[in-house]
Amino acid sequence: MRILFIGDVVGSPGREMLHTFLPQLKRKYQPTLTIVNGENAAGGKGITEKIAKSFFESGVHVITLGNHTWDQKHIGDYLDQASNIIRPANYPAGAPGSGYALLTINQYKVAVMSLQGRTFLPALDCPFRKAEALLGEIYEHTRIIFVDFHAEATSEKEAMGWFLDGKVSAVVGTHTHVQTADERLLPQKTAYMTDVGMTGPRNAILGMKKESILYRFLTGMPSRFEVAEKSPAQVNGVLISVDPHTGLADDIMRIAIDDDHPFTEEG
């Protein structure tokens, strides 16, 4: 079983790159399951029902979210209706939507879980304890479990990887928008990567226009962050191979597509 995960899609440049390259990536790698983090898809803040549906129409199976989950109006209503778009599971009880999705693909049941870190982010319930509690439910259905850990601190992400090693198929990080080069199989065969990176504007600062962010750093004054619509764009992702019988990973590979790394369907 192959799982293709695309890192944080930012604004219209990210959406365009996803719609352009996802069909090509699927032809080349033949993933069984395709997951996208879409929490920045609507102008860099949140996602709308319309955008989510366009992702599903493009062949995405599950959309994960993060700290910008609630930035778009009425998204809570949609999360209550759709089972394949998930917000972080460690939001307090009563939040709309679900923290994990359970689906059947090629006769195998697969779970996708979303968690959010607490270091340098809003205080939510403990993601470690929440993951532990949810695994008790999920194990009744499957051992193929993919975890998107949306967190700021590298240490917190690494801690989650070690905490879940051997308990889930993969723990990959999102949120910081910079792809790391530490993809590996942990000793108990859980695939791990600190941050998958970003799909969106490349000549920018985390997908946003450079000028407004530089202004804030130089002056300490607030400024409005806007997606760098005219920048060349990139696709960041990861491909993970999982034994469907054990739920453990046997390979993980980074994906980067940009002007310096053009995509080819050969090889």
DSSP string, the chain: -EEEEE-EEBHHHHHHHHHHHHHHHHHHH--SEEEEE-TBTTTTS---HHHHHHHHHTT--EEE--TTTTSSTTHHHHHHH-SSEE--TTSPTT-SS-SEEEEEETTEEEEEEEEE--TTS---S-HHHHHHHHHHHHTTT-S-EEEEEE-S-HHHHHHHHHHHTTTSSEEEEESS-S--S--EE-TTS-EEES---EEEESSSBTTB-HHHHHHHHHH-------B-TTS-EEEEEEEEEE-TTT--EEEEEEEEEBTTB---S--
Tokens standing for residue 56: 């599903």
Q: How far apart are the first and last CA of the chain?
A: 19
68 has catalytic annotation = yes
The answer to whether the CB of 2 falls within 8 A of the CB of 32 is yes
Tell me which residue of 233, 200, 229, 198 sits closest to 14, measured CA to CA. 200
Distance CA 174, CA 82 (A): 22
Catalytic residue among 61, 68, 150, 175: 68
Report the residue count for the chain. 267
| Residues belonging to the active site | 68
